[in-house]
Amino acid sequence: MRITSVELHQRLGQTIDRARQEPVMVTKHDRDHVVILSAEEYAEMRQSYRKVGPINSMSDEDFEQLLIAKVPSEAEQKRIVAEMDAAVASGAIRLRKS
């Protein structure tokens, strides 16, 4: 949802209620200005950031590995997915719900 800063001032309560369902982009002078989102979504974003972390926190060795990494071919990707599917089907790997 997108609203202008003027609309935000006029409908603050409704906007807060809406932000609990989905992020609300507030525009000012026809440009994105701020986003209002639920506390739950904010906490989830913060938690995700903690898990991933900023790129500048990577070691030099990890960063070098990232630079030389290659995306597997489509055939290799299919082979890997088939192996994972087989491992899940055999019970060797258990999936957890996120």
pLDDT digits (tens, 9 = 90+) for 25-60: 999 999 999 999 999 999 888 887 766 667 777 888
Whole-prediction pTM: 0.51
pLDDT of res. 73: 92
Q: Domains, the chain, ranges and CATH?
A: 2-90 (3.40.1620.10)
Burial 69-97 (b: 16+ CB within 10 A, else e): eeeeeeeeeeeeeeeeeeeeeeeeeeeee
pLDDT in tens, 53-87: 677 778 889 888 888 999 899 999 999 999 998 98
Across the beta sheet with 2-4, the strand order is 2-4, 24-28, 31-36
pLDDT of res. 88: 87
Q: Looking at per-residue confidence, does 94 or 23 come out higher?
A: 23
